[in-house]
Amino acid sequence: MTSTLTISHLTKAFGGVKALSDVSLAVEPGERVALLGHNGAGKSTLMKVILGLIAPDGGEISVCGAAPGKARSQVAYLPENAAFHSALTGLEQITYYMRLRGEAVSGAMELLDRVGLGHAAKRRICTYSKGMRQRVGLAQALIGHPRLLVLDEPTSGLDPVSRRDFYELLDGLAADGASILLSSHALTEVEARTDRLLILSGGRMVAEGSLPELRREAALPVSMQITALNGYDTDIMAALPDAIRLNGGLHLNCTQEDKLATLARISAMQEKVTDLEVIPPSLEDIYSHFSRRDGQ
């Protein structure tokens, strides 16, 4: 199976600003990949290079087997601040895009219904709310059967229910074999709904993999919150020298490898402990671990 998108050693600088340095990645058919990174990390720039809107300074890129911008009929794009001509109605705008893709325009209304805009299809886009404009953007990205969807912050401005609907749409597309590359700042939804995460920081690819893989690689400490039975906290602290007092309880950090051993020592003191809570590193912890590695 050949990758829909392969990038190797891509670099791009704007004047003195290195927006992307030595970025390599591949996206397979049917795969949903999330691109994460701080503001200015280079996510949008990477997407524009993939689409052929910006010429790279170096590196090789293959999009659906062609150079960027050469396989446009197979690639759909949602820009980060999707803008449309405000004098057009949603229906006119989508009809226009369908004609440009050579699709039958009879499906325009159905497409707008799919993104929940059916009721507003005949109103001008200047009367739309931000989320409604974002949905016009989503609708145009769904036209035809793109093999690659490049979505720049697709859920920004969407309400929680619409976000869920949106990811359900994506699941359907991926099941049909489309590759999806999306950027986002919403970590929780991205980890639950994509197959792989890529983290950009200062233009470099600092991490790549599924969440469990990244969790292992980051090797962040597990924290434990121990509530001692009245008066026994000094005993526990003696047995666990790393523990500190915090908010009336005891707090302990330990590495992934030491986790089971530490738990065994705590359970050995069962009669002195009323409660134990094990808190794995959160998504934010893992993200900031990778994102800050370059001195951010």
Partner 1 sequence: MIARIFATAVTEAHIARRNRWVLIAVALMVVFSLVLSAAGSAPTGALGADRLSVVVASLTSLSVYLVPLVALLMSFDAVAGEVERGTLPLLLTYPVARWEVLAGKLLAHTAILIVAILAGYGVAAAITIAADPAAVAGLGALWRLTWTSVLLGATFIGIGYALSSLARRVSGAAGLAIGLWLGLVVLYDLGLLAAVVADDGGFFTTDVFPAALLANPADAFRLFNLTASQATAAASGVGGAAATIPLWQSLLSILIWPLVSLALAALAFRKVEP
Q: At what angle do helices 160-175 and 130-141 cross, to 10 degrees?
A: 0
Q: Which stretch binds partner 1 (CB under 8 A): 50-58, 112-120, 187-195, 231-239?
A: 50-58
- Is residue 210 within 8 Å of 196, Cβ to Cβ? yes
87 binds partner 1 (CB under 8 A): yes
Binding stretches for ligand ATP (CB under 6 A): 14, 17, 19, 37, 39-45, 80
Q: What is the dihedral of CA 151, 156, 157, 158, to 10 degrees?
A: 70
Distance in Å, CB of 27 to ligand ATP, minimum: 18
By CB under 5 A, residue 44 contacts Mg ion:
yes
CB atoms within 10 A of CB 269: 16
Taking CB under 8 A as the criterion, the residue among 48, 133, 193, 215 binding partner 1 is 48
Interaction partner, residue 96 (ligand ATP, partner 1, Mg ion, none; CB < 5-8 Å by kind): partner 1
Residue 169 Cβ vs partner 1, minimum distance, rounded to whole Å: 19
Phi and psi at residue 288, to the nearest 5°: -70, -30
> What is the chain's length?
296
Q: Which of 84, 166, 167, 290 binds partner 1 (CB under 8 A)?
A: 84
Structure tokens at 2: 């050949």
Q: How far is the CB of 72 from partner 1 (least distance, A)?
A: 4
Stretch that binds partner 1, among 98-106, 179-187, 254-262, 264-272 (CB under 8 A): 98-106
Q: Applying CB under 5 A, does 201 fall inside the site for Mg ion? A: no
d(CA 264, CA 251) in angstroms, rounded, equals: 16
C-beta closer to partner 1: residue 9 or 85: 85
Least separation, in Å, of the C-beta of 85 and ligand ATP? 23
Give the one residue of 42, 52, 157, 203 binding partner 1; rule: CB under 8 A.
Answer: 52
Whole-angstrom Cα distance, residue 29 to residue 64? 10
Nearer to Mg ion, 44 or 140 (CB): 44
Q: Which does 56 bind (CB under 5 to 8 A by kind): ligand ATP, partner 1, Mg ion, none?
A: none
- Does 186 contact partner 1 by CB under 8 A? no
Q: Torsion angle of alpha carbons 207, 213, 219, 221, nearest 10°?
A: 120
Cβ-in-10-Å burial (0-12, 13-18, 19+) of 67 comes to: exposed
Question: Per CB under 8 A, which of residues 114..153 are in contact with partner 1?
Answer: 124, 137, 140
261 near partner 1 (CB under 8 A): no
C-beta neighbour count of 193 within 10 angstroms:
22
Residues 6+ apart with CB under 8 A from 21: 11, 203, 204
Count Cα neighbours of 185 within 13 Å in the Cβ-side half-sphere.
Answer: 8
Backbone angles phi, psi at 232, to 5 degrees: -90, 0
Which of Mg ion, partner 1, ligand ATP, none interacts with 49 (beta carbon under 5 to 8 A by kind)? none
Q: Where along the sequence are the contacts to partner 1 (CB under 8 A)?
A: 48, 51-54, 69, 72-73, 75-77, 79, 81-85, 87-88, 92-93, 96-97, 99-102, 124, 137, 140
